[in-house]
């Protein structure tokens, strides 16, 4: 979730135009455009996100253990809830299993999944199970935020400071969704999203949604990562947010009016991890 987030640059570049498809779908849905759909529900808003986790696209059997796969499959959805400043409540998991994924694998998968769910008070609500030629997983997370208070991408204003919740560029075996950070930012941010495809690409999306640009001055680089990786590598899952206030997070620059993104005075190309091609664009 959402489709905007999940159509990386270059996706369907030959077969179709992803922006056209999104615009067409947006005619049918007013919910597409943020990390979660925001559904009015009495005094609060329900937040809904779905994220796929697929063999050879999002992970490799060779490098990820079954518990790591279960953990990360859920972590992606929880990260979307965090990006909205929400509280997660329920998770649903649909699995299609190939022959290699037997009982031992499934035990491990659920172990990692439930370990992370427990950590964030998220209940397993159910799911679906089938088989396929490759391992396929789709996780839906249902969360909530006070009515009208969920963070969105379209609220950044010129002059706002731009922040990230941690250093960038390093892919971890298991990543930590920034639920607590999101909750602590309630009432303080003008726009927010999680960095799933690299800050250069995701910041461009945030700027486009807000109708603004950005001047970046510094990027916190994770230990062992290069500046290039910090800018363009996917799957950081840190939060990217803007605020008119000085906050105690890494300030990477400021929102400006011209609709372009610069890094130290030079144009920054919006390129990031392409989940479709499984490579950096």
Q: Which residues bind its own copies (CB under 8 A)?
A: 1-3, 6-7, 11-12, 15-16, 21, 24-25, 28-29, 31-32, 36-37, 39, 41-42, 48-52, 54, 56-58, 89-90, 92, 94, 96, 102-103, 106, 110, 114, 123-134, 136, 138, 140, 142, 275-276
Minimum CB–partner distance for residue 213 and its own copies (Å): 27
**232: helix, strand or coil:** helix
What number of other Cβ atoms are within 10 A of residue 88's Cβ? 25
16 or 227: CB nearest its own copies: 16
74 or 164: CB nearest its own copies: 74
63 or 130: CB nearest its own copies: 130
- Name the token pair of 97: 């299993």
Minimum CB–partner distance for residue 150 and its own copies (Å): 14
7 or 161: CB nearest its own copies: 7
31 or 250: CB nearest its own copies: 31
Q: Is 128 exposed, middle or buried (0-12, 13-18, 19+ CB in 10 A)?
A: exposed
The torsion angles phi and psi of 237, rounded to 5 degrees, stand at 60, 25
**200: helix, strand or coil:** helix
Minimum CB–partner distance for residue 146 and its own copies (Å): 15
Residues in CB range of 51: below 8 A, 6 or more apart:
1, 6, 73, 76, 77, 80, 138, 139, 141
3, 39 Cβ separation under 8 angstroms: no
Minimum CB–partner distance for residue 90 and its own copies (Å): 6
Q: What share of the chain is helix, strand, coil (3-state, %, to 5)?
A: 25, 30, 45
6 or 171: CB nearest its own copies: 6
Helix and strand element counts for the chain (H, E)? 7, 14
Minimum CB–partner distance for residue 168 and its own copies (Å): 23
Minimum CB–partner distance for residue 178 and its own copies (Å): 20
């Amino acid at each position: 979730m959402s489709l905007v987030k999940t159509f990386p640059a270059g996706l369907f570049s030959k077969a179709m135009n992803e922006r056209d498809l999104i615009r067409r779908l947006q005619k049918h849905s007013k919910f597409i455009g943020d990390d979660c759909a925001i559904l009015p529900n009495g005094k609060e808003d329900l937040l809904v996100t779905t994220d796929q986790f697929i063999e050879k696209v999002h992970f490799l059997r060779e490098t990820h253990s079954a518990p790591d796969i279960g953990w990360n499959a859920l972590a992606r959805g929880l990260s979307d809830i965090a990006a909205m400043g929400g509280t997660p409540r329920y998770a649903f998991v649909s699995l299609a299993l190939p022959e290699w994924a037997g009982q031992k694998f499934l035990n491990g998968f659920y172990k990692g999944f439930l370990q992370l769910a427990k950590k964030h008070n998220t209940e397993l609500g159910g799911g679906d199970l089938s088989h396929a030629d490759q391992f396929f997983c789709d996780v839906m997370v249902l969360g909530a935020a006070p009515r009208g208070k969920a963070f969105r991408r379209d609220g950044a204003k010129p002059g706002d400071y731009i922040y990230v919740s941690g250093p960038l560029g390093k892919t971890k075996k298991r990543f930590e969704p920034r639920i607590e950070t999101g909750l602590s930012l309630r009432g303080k941010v003008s726009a927010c999203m999680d960095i799933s495809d690299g800050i250069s690409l995701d910041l461009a999306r945030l700027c486009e949604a807000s109708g603004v640009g950005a001047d970046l001055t510094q990027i916190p680089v994770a230990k062992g990562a290069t500046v290039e990786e910090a800018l363009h590598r996917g799957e950081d899952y840190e939060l990217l947010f803007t605020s008119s206030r000085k906050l105690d997070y890494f300030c990477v620059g400021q929102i400006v009016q011209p609709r372009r993104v610069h890094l130290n005075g030079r144009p920054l190309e919006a390129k990031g991890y392409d989940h479709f091609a499984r490579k950096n664009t």
